[in-house]
Amino acid sequence: MDQWESIRLRCVRDGEPIKVVARELGLSRNTVRKYVRSIVAPQPKPRRRERLLDPYQDHIDELLRAHPHITSVRIGQVFREKVNSEFRVDESTLRKYVADRRRHIVPREAFVRASYEPGDQAQLDFTPVRVVVAGAEQVVQLFVMRLSYSGRYFARASPRCDRPALFAGILGAVTAFGGLPKEAVFDNASTAVTRVLRGRRREQNPAFREFCGALALEMQFAAPARGNEKGGVESVNRYLQNNFFTPTPEFASIADCNTELAVACERDAQRVHREYREPIATRFERERQVLRSLPDPLPRPCLVQYARVNKFAEVTYQTNRYSVPARYAFRDAILEVYDDRVRVVVENVAVAEHRRADGRNESVLDPRHYLELLQHKHRAAERATVLADGRIPESLTALLARYRERDRDTATKLWMKVVLLLATHSQDALDAAVRQATAANTDDPAAIAMLLESPDPLPPPLNLRDHPRFAELEAVDVDLSQYAIADLAETA
């Protein structure tokens, strides 16, 4: 650098001859002439230290050319099997070396920047995230739908990413946007695509096709393993993971999580679009004007499936059992499976509705569905599954125990008189009445029924010992000996 600067000053600024400067600096005339012509200072060449894997570079390059997606771990295994059985190298060292050679052998693909018109396109996707719900950490599926022009997005969490969750997400998004885009882009998930055909052709799932047809929403599908074709929604997923789900948030329920997500979506709409340098809300107002109107009525976000009510008055969906009133046993039914609930329809009448089970082999049973049956089979009530596992208040279980201690033969019949009150009263009301009756030292079913109908609580039992003049009361001693003598005389 010092020589280059000195040559530039003497030859270019002061006009000294090149041969004079070369002789005084001990350099060749060609070197001085090169520095005179160059306006860029000479850069020192970095000294490259030979790396441990350099002797194997040709082998690694050959493997990468033949198999572009081969992993560094597999390369190490191939070396030990075919090149050198004694080959040992640290895993991180091998990974870094392979990544460096991969950049030269298999360069990453460049992208084309896309421009969208208002209302032109939306992108949607699912991604797993971790949350704490009711004190337990679990993985939920985050659905995101993003308008490509404005960048406005809708987010919703669900315990699953099946078709009902997809339908609920799409319907929630277009409702929040207040309209429909011309088309939407999704990946090739089995919830929507049954078969990937040649090119952009897809064989769609019938239920998904019917739902999109009801919305008149055209669906486009990204090429397999091409997440960049819906890069807008992918970036929103990463943004929410970093700014909403880190650190792991805590909620009382999934519904509370979705409430806070809706607030976050509204708040984030005030953010400036990073490419167009204007607020997302401003762009969304322009886009809202050209969104297509929602159909009236909106399609139901549910999956319809036929089922048979078994002998236990239950229907089964994905290994989980749901109860229906016992009088519908052995009947054909229609299941309407929503993201958060399951409805059972028999002959166009909704006969039952339950929360949707999140796990497998669960039993979601309603005691009220079996009251009429248990009234005639009261002995089965003691071990009935529908009255176990916390499905009825704990006070009722304790009441049955007291009836059994008194008379086991009549315990279940007496108990069912109390349980039958669930047909007309809520569990909380019956629980309160049973506890009130227990406090009043009674377990008579008639008294419990009276307490359910009475708006006023029972007064506390009278205790004479709390009377202020109780100490003045004196018991009268009666001599009964003469009565005993008279009785003996009459007997004789």
Q: Are residues 356 and 378 in the same domain?
A: no
Q: Are residues 470 and 401 in the same domain?
A: yes
Q: What is the dihedral of CA 179, 185, 190, 196, to 10 degrees?
A: 140
Q: Give the residue ranges of the chain where pLDDT is below 50.
A: 488
Residue 210 sits in which domain range?
Answer: 121-288
What pLDDT score was predicted for residue 482?
66
Q: Are residues 468 and 482 in the same domain?
A: yes
Last residue within a domain, chosen from 343, 364, 385: 364
Residue 249 sits at φ, ψ, to 5 deg, of: -80, 160
Rounded Cα distance, 70 and 89, in Å: 17
Write the Ramachandran bin of 203: left for phi over 0, alpha for psi from -120 to 50, otherwise beta.
beta
Q: Are residues 174 and 208 in the same domain?
A: yes
- Decide if 82 is inside a domain: yes
Identify whether 279 is preceded by a cis peptide bond (ω within 30 of 0): no
Q: Calculate the CA 117 to chain-centre distance.
A: 32
- Please give the model's pTM, rounded to 2 decimal places: 0.72
Rounded Cα distance, 267 and 384, in Å: 51
What pLDDT score was predicted for residue 485?
54
Last residue within a domain, chosen from 364, 380, 411: 364
Under 8 Å between Cβ of 384 and 363: no
Q: Are residues 215 and 244 in the same domain?
A: yes
What pLDDT score was predicted for residue 183?
92
- Decide if 114 is inside a domain: no
Q: Are residues 126 and 26 in the same domain?
A: no
Question: What is the per-residue pLDDT across 455-487, written as a single tens digit (0 to 9) for each?
Answer: 566 566 666 666 666 666 666 676 666 665 555
Question: What is the per-residue pLDDT across 297-307, written as a single tens digit (0 to 9) for each?
Answer: 999 999 999 99
What's the per-residue H, E or C state across the chain? CHHHHHHHHHHHHCCCCHHHHHHHHCCCHHHHHHHHHCCCCCCCCCCCCCCCCHHHHHHHHHHHHHCCCCCHHHHHHHHHHHHCCCCCCCHHHHHHHHHHHHHHHCCCCCCCCCCCCCCCEEEEEEEEEEEEECCEEEEEEEEEEEECCCCCEEEEEECCCCHHHHHHHHHHHHHHHCCECCEEEECCCCCCEEEECCCCCEEECHHHHHHHHHHCCEEEECCCCCHHHHHHHHHHHHHHHHHCCCCCCEECCHHHHHHHHHHHHHHHCCCECCCCCCEHHHHHHHHHCCCECCCCCCCCCCEEEEEECCCCCEEEECCEEEECCHHHCCCEEEEEECCCEEEEEECCEEEEEEECCCCCCCEECCHHHHHHHHHHCHHHHHHCHHHCCCCCCHHHHHHHHHHHHHCHHHHHHHHHHHHHHHHCCCHHHHHHHHHHHHHCCCCCHHHHHHHHHCCCCCCCCCCHHHCCCHHHCCCCCCCCHHHHHHHHHHHC
- Decide if 234 is inside a domain: yes
Q: Are residues 205 and 142 in the same domain?
A: yes
Q: Are residues 189 and 217 in the same domain?
A: yes
Last residue within a domain, chosen from 328, 347, 364: 364
What pLDDT score was predicted for residue 480?
63
Q: Are residues 218 and 158 in the same domain?
A: yes
Structural domains in the chain (count): 5
What pLDDT score was predicted for residue 454?
74
Q: Are residues 281 and 170 in the same domain?
A: yes
- Decide if 339 is inside a domain: yes
Q: Are residues 420 and 347 in the same domain?
A: no
Which residue carries 């009825």 as its tokens?
Answer: 392
